[in-house]
């Protein structure tokens, strides 16, 4: 019998319990053992819930019970989630988490603690909700150098942008709906301002490049300023506006890492990623491009990702296999300057392509009609792009980073 404890019985924690209940026989068959939730730590009591007898309020109960081998941290926030996770690892318990804020800020320390204590720290559910992406990057792509990752990493903002695009909804109505569906963070500003996507791209960059960039060092812009004009101009030529997290290793060894709204052109598969779905596109040396796609938020999809980690640990409990990974922590020189580093930018302006080309060399025209040119400029920094548009005397209707 494998005993587990759940820390935090909110959307994800209760999703974990439901996924265990729904898939019990399948899970036991796969891990060749039985599994039970022995404790659920929460501030609340849940009277009438089938889980009410498992509720405890003191982490010590879990820490001091040698029967609990796996702890599932689904609390959200860093306090006390980080401290509790550390205490569990030091008590010789493996920890699995969906908590991207903890992994993005302290993943290096937690992996070190897991290794030092001969246990594991796994975090599949911290990126992409239910999409298996962490384990495939770690295992299946292990023979590949990773060059670049671009992802639609936040279900709430993707849902809002899709509703604005497909149904012409206002930003606030679409947000209220995403909250009602349980996709949004407790404080939805973390979704809207890009913080949630930022934490996720930091985790992906750590996997790809071995350096955990602090979220505070990332150029991060949310979707608050996206208007119906941005969305409807993109729609004219089959493009879409998406919040995208990107990271890339630069030739000088620095890391380009950003989260911004992006124009996704019609030929990029991410243009079709709608609603609460997420997609993570990895560019790897031998494999080329690979895209992971699925539901990026929600109780059961995320619960299912947590279960994949629990089952991985459960299968190897006898042989242990402690966490091996180490992440360097970032210093200020690691991240390149987003203002001056060349990437791709998009604008819709009142000038013709011929009027633009004296100012911007490499342009890809996406759409023209009377008084409107929509184009992407490749290999240009934000600073130079702004300068060129001003020098050309363009009236700008929409301006975004481009994929
Ligand atoms: N608020 C997050 C999102 C939840 O909308 O993607 C999943 O991490």
CATH of the domain at 182: 3.30.360.10
Q: Distance, CA 126 to ligand 1 centroid (Å)?
A: 9
Tell me the torsion sign for CA atoms 295, 296, 297, 301: positive
Please report the pLDDT score of residue 381 as a whole number. Answer: 96
Task: Clarify whether residues 360 and 317 are in a common domain.
Answer: no
Task: Clarify whether residues 263 and 310 are in a common domain.
Answer: no
Residue 83 lies in a domain: yes
Going by the DSSP 8-state scheme, the letter that residue 69 receives in this structure is E
Task: Clarify whether residues 198 and 272 are in a common domain.
Answer: yes
Residue 376 lies in a domain: yes
Please report the pLDDT score of residue 182 as a whole number. Answer: 86
CA-to-CA distance for 266 and 9, rounded, in angstroms? Answer: 41
Question: With a 6 A CB cut-off, is 246 part of the ligand 1 pocket?
Answer: no
Please report the pLDDT score of residue 279 as a whole number. Answer: 98
CA-to-CA distance for 243 and 194, rounded, in angstroms? Answer: 8
Pair type for strands 219-220 and 255-264: parallel
Task: Clarify whether residues 276 and 396 are in a common domain.
Answer: no
Residues 211-261 have pLDDT tens digits of 999 999 999 999 999 998 999 999 999 999 999 999 999 999 999 999 999
**Shortest-distance atom of ligand 1 to CA 159:** 5
Residues 268-309 have pLDDT tens digits of 999 999 999 999 999 999 889 999 999 999 999 999 999 999
R_g (Cα) of the chain, nearest Å: 23
Helix (H, G, I), strand (E, B) or coil at 278: strand
CA-to-CA distance for 217 and 199, rounded, in angstroms? Answer: 11
CA-to-CA distance for 190 and 184, rounded, in angstroms? Answer: 8
Q: Distance, CA 362 to ligand 1 centroid (Å)?
A: 36
Residue 338 lies in a domain: no
> Between vectors from CA 19 to CA 14 and to CA 25, what angle results, nearest 5°?
140
Task: Clarify whether residues 277 and 164 are in a common domain.
Answer: yes
CB 247 within 8 A of CB 257: yes
CA-to-CA distance for 253 and 235, rounded, in angstroms? Answer: 37
Structural domains in the chain (count): 3
Which residues have C-beta within 8 Å of that of residue 322, sequence separation ≥ 6?
Answer: 114, 115, 117, 118, 119, 120
Residue 336 lies in a domain: no
User: What is the H or E stretch that residue 138 is in?
Assistant: none
CATH of the domain at 376: 3.30.70.100
Q: From the CB of residue 118, how many other CB atoms can be counted at a distance below 10 Å?
A: 13
Q: Distance, CA 196 to ligand 1 centroid (Å)?
A: 7
Task: Clarify whether residues 53 and 93 are in a common domain.
Answer: yes
For helices 195-209 and 100-116, angle between their N-to-C axes, nearest 10 degrees: 30
Residue 364 lies in a domain: yes
Residues annotated as part of the active site: 200
CA-to-CA distance for 244 and 225, rounded, in angstroms? Answer: 15
Residue 147 lies in a domain: yes
Task: Clarify whether residues 275 and 320 are in a common domain.
Answer: no
Which one of 174, 185, 202 would you pick to mutate in the ligand 1 pocket, going by the greatest count of ligand atoms within 8 A of its CB?
185
Which one of 134, 184, 204, 242 would you pick to mutate in the ligand 1 pocket, going by the greatest count of ligand atoms within 8 A of its CB?
184
Question: With a 6 A CB cut-off, is 183 part of the ligand 1 pocket?
Answer: yes
Residue 255 lies in a domain: yes
Helix (H, G, I), strand (E, B) or coil at 287: coil
Q: From the CB of residue 369, how many other CB atoms can be counted at a distance below 10 Å?
A: 9
> Between vectors from CA 141 to CA 139 and to CA 142, what angle results, nearest 5°?
60
Task: Clarify whether residues 222 and 118 are in a common domain.
Answer: no
pTM of this structure: 0.97
Question: With a 6 A CB cut-off, is 101 part of the ligand 1 pocket?
Answer: no
Q: Distance, CA 188 to ligand 1 centroid (Å)?
A: 9
Q: Which is nearest to 164 in space by CA: 150, 177, 152?
A: 177
CB 249 within 8 A of CB 255: yes
Task: Clarify whether residues 140 and 287 are in a common domain.
Answer: yes
Can you list the residues of the chain whose pLDDT is less than 50?
Answer: none
CATH of the domain at 10: 3.40.50.720
Question: With a 6 A CB cut-off, is 196 part of the ligand 1 pocket?
Answer: yes
Task: Clarify whether residues 211 and 276 are in a common domain.
Answer: yes
Residue 331 lies in a domain: no
Task: Clarify whether residues 321 and 358 are in a common domain.
Answer: no
Task: Clarify whether residues 103 and 220 are in a common domain.
Answer: no
Final residue before a domain boundary, out of 280, 295, 310: 295
The terminus-to-terminus CA distance of the chain in angstroms comes to: 49
The parent domain of residue 369 ranges over: 343-402
Please report the pLDDT score of residue 342 as a whole number. Answer: 95
């Amino acid at each position: 019998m494998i005993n587990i404890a759940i820390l935090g019985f909110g959307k994800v924690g209760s999703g974990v319990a439901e996924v265990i209940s729904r898939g019990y026989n399948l899970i036991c068959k796969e891990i060749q053992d039985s599994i039970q939730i022995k404790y659920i730590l929460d501030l609340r009591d849940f009277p009438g819930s089938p889980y009410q007898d498992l509720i405890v309020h003191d982490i010590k109960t879990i820490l001091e019970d040698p029967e609990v081998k796996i702890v599932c941290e689904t609390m959200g926030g860093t306090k006390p989630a980080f401290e509790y996770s550390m205490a569990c690892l030091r008590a010789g318990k493996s920890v699995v988490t969906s908590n991207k804020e903890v992994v993005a800020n302290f993943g290096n320390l937690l992996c070190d603690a897991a290794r030092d204590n001969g246990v594991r720290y796994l975090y599949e559910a911290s990126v992409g909700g239910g999409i298996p992406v962490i384990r495939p990057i770690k295992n299946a792509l292990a023979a590949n150098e990773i060059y670049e990752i671009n992802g639609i990493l936040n279900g709430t903002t993707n849902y809002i942008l899709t509703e604005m695009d497909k149904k012409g909804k206002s930003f606030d109505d679409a947000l209220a709906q995403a909250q009602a569906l349980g996709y949004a963070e407790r404080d939805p500003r973390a979704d809207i301002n890009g913080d949630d996507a930022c934490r996720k791209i930091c985790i992906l960059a750590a996997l790809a490049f071995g350096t955990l960039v602090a979220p505070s060092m990332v150029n991060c812009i949310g979707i608050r300023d996206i208007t119906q004009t941005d969305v409807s101009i993109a729609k004219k030529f089959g493009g879409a506006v998406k919040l995208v997290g990107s990271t890339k290793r630069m030739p000088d060894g620095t890391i380009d890492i950003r989260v911004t709204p992006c124009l996704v052109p019609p030929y990029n598969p991410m243009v079709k990623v709608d609603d609460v779905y997420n997609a993570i596109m990895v560019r790897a040396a031998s494999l080329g491009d690979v895209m992971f796609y699925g539901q990026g938020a929600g109780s059961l999809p995320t619960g299912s990702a947590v279960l994949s980690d629990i089952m991985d640990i459960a299968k190897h409990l006898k042989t242990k296999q402690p966490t091996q990974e180490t992440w360097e922590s970032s210093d200020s020189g690691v991240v390149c300057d987003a203002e001056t580093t060349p990437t791709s930018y998009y604008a819709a302006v009142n000038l013709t392509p011929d009027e633009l080309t004296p100012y911007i060399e490499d342009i890809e025209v996406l759409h023209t009609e009377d008084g409107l040119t929509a184009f992407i400029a490749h290999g240009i920094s934000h600073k130079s792009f702004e300068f060129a548009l001003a020098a050309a005397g363009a009236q700008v209707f929409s301006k975004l980073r481009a994929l």
